[in-house]
Every structure is written in structure tokens, then in C-alpha cells.
Amino acid sequence: MPTKSQLKQLADQHGTPLFIVDHDVIRRNYAEFKRHLPRVQAYYAVKANPDPAIVGTLYAAGASFDVASMPEFMIVYEYVWQLPEKERQDWIWDKIIYANPIKSNETLADLDPYKPLVTYDNYEEIRKIARHAPHAGLALRIRVPNTGAMVELSSKFGAHSGEAVALIEAAHDAGLVVEGLSFHVGSQTTNVENYVQALQLCAGVFAEAKSRGFTLKLLDIGGGFPAPYHDGVTPFRKLAARIRPEIDRLFPRPLEILAEPGRFLIATAATLVAEVIGKAHRDGKPCYYINDGVYHTFSGIVFDHCCYHLEAFRRGPRQISAVFGPTCDALDTISLAEELPELRLGDLVYSRNIGAYSHASATSFNGFPPAKVVHINQ
């Protein structure tokens, strides 16, 4: 993690707004994941931050990849394919799962030559896959509790466990092979019981499927592993200590276990540095305008239900302040209650733990471009 002096030096060198990605932190996060869930193969959720440099660092560390669109698929494919031939693997199965349960016909046709592993959760998707991607392997996504998740997903995706085996049988009847099950407990989940209940639901489906003649080979436990945005977040080691014995009890080897960490791997690996470009006093408090906002690196405030705290390089007594982005839209509000010292025009501020679902969804709204990206410790 870069120090304040390093952040300032990088901002002086490259200008602001500046999105700084520390690859040492990425490697540490991946190592922590493997240390506490050694049996689980981590498939990085590329949507969290699709920068090819991040893909490269995680590939070198041993990660696989969860993609949810053809552009994400091609980021991983093109990175792997540029490696020397002796370093390539049978990587479509070892390195990628296409984990978007809903895919267009065109996407399926594009995927089919690669014989991918894809998720599904309904009968219409079976018919589409059978017609447009008959060489794909399937993982059935099950609807599971998302209680307490920052971003709830079960209302959009997942088949009820009661219809799971019928969906497996329907895929079989269509000439497809269901390799296993997948689920997602919701993003930034600190309620470990979501995982426990999901694992128990899937164990029941495995047993029913076996009784009906279908042998499943893998379980994808999805993402949702929380990033330490604040001190109150359940540490990953404690969450893993509860999940690990349940996996071993319910799903003995050689069954393959996958996961799709995104936020956990990348959130703490990036810091945003911005400049104060305007200042006013309204509603009894200072208001600061900076050159990055919710249409840019702080987009997670809107799309990810996330709060990012700002820190100042300048010292002094703190007071409740409002912070806005540079656009003309009133939605471009970063915080109405940030504790900051008295700032001047040209001062720099920074926000840590902003690596996930931030720069990935930045736009150029109102003519303001996204922050420049700088990679350190690659």
C-alpha cells in the first residue's frame, strides 16, 4: 500500500485524478484467499476491475477467471494466448468460467468454439445453449439466501433448489452435460450463514441428482467475500474458518470447488488521488469540489451501494464537509458528511480501498475523462 508521500509523489508526476493500483496488494490478497481456503480455486471476477495488467498479475499468481461478457472473455483469452506455448494450459476449463446465467444467442455462438463452462438457471437458456453453444459444459446456478449482502443478487438470478434436478435432466435431454452447481450469496456478504445455508442446499441437490442418475463434478461457491472497507467487516479468515469445514463435510474430494472473488482481491489494491478544484460554504458547512466524482472513480457510490471515505494530505482540525464531483449533475455527490480539515484550492485528497467496481464503471460524462491509471509493484 503506497504511503501518503508516495501518493503525493505519484500525483505530482502524473497529475490528477490518479487511480493507483498496487500489485503487491493484489498478490497478498490472493495468497490470503488460498491460505484460508486452500481447496478452493479462485476465479477472479473480471467485472470488478478488467484491467489486463490485473489479469496478468492474478494469472501469474495462479488464479482462474470468472467472466460475464465476451469482451471480458477476450481480455483473459488474449492475455493467455500471448504467453509462450509451453506456458499455456488446457485453460478454457482451468482458467475461465462464463458465469453470466443469461447470454445472447450471438454470445453463445461466439463462445461455442472454445467449449466453455457456462452457467444457466432456466429452461429457455437450455434451449439457447443447445442450439448455439452445444459444445459448452454447464453449471446450474441455484438461488440462495442473500441476507445482509450489500448487493443482493438472488432476485435476478438462480433456480429454486426444488426444480434443480428437473433443470439438470432437461439439459441432459437436450444433449448437454451439467458439470455441477453454482450459487452467489450476494456482494460484500458478512453474514457467513448465507454460505452455510447455500452449501447445505447444494448438498441436497447433489444427493437428489445422484439418485436420479446424474453425477455432478464441481461446485462454484460464487463471490461475495467482503473487502475490509471498515473495522466492522468480518475478517475473511473468520468467514473462511466457518466455510472450510462445511465444504469438506458436505463435498468430499475429488469434487472440484470453485469461487469467484472479485471485490476481496482488488478493492484494497487501489487508491484514488484527486484535487480540490472548487470551494464554497452552504448549509452551514464547507463544500469542496474535486476533479473526480460518481460518474468516474466514485461510480461505486451509485452502482455498488458503496461509501468511499476521503482523506486529506493537509492537517488540521476536522469538520463535517460536503464533497462533490466536477460535473454539473447534482447526483455527482460523493459525501454530504465527510470529516475533513479546512482545505484550499489545489489541495489533494485521496481515497483508499477503491479498487473494485469503481474505475471499471467510470464514464466520460459531461466531457470529464476517467482518472489516469498507474500501476506500481508489477
- Which residue reads 497529475 in cell numbers? 15
Packing angle of the helix pair 52-61, 23-36 (nearest 10 deg): 40
In the residue annotation, 287 being an active-site residue is answered as no
User: Of 32, 133, 116, which Cα lies nearest the Cα of 66?
Assistant: 116
State how far the Cα of 184 lies from the Cα of 220, in Å rounded to an integer: 9
* Residue 325 amino acid letter: G
d(C-alpha 175, C-alpha 132), whole Å: 12
- Cis-peptide into 101, omega within 30 deg: no
CA distance 109 to 86: 29
Cα(33)–Cα(42) distance, integer angstroms: 8
Active-site residue (options: 202, 287, 307, 328):
328
Q: Is the dihedral of CA 201, 207, 209, 215 positive or negative?
A: positive
> Can you tell me the distance from the alpha carbon of 33 to that of 106, in angstroms, rounded to the nearest whole number?
35
Burial class (CB in 10 A: 0-12, 13-18, 19+), 225: buried
Residue 356 and residue 227 in contact, taking contact as beta carbons nearer than 8 Å: yes
Instruction: Label the pairing between strands 319-324 and 285-290.
Output: parallel
**3-state secondary structure (DSSP) of residue 158:** coil
Distances (CA, A) of 162 to 165, 166, 198: 8, 8, 13
Phi, psi of 297 (to 5 degrees): -65, -30
162 contact partners, CB below 8 Å, separation of at least 6: none
Q: Positive or negative, the Cα torsion across 70, 77, 186, 167?
A: positive
Active site residues: 328
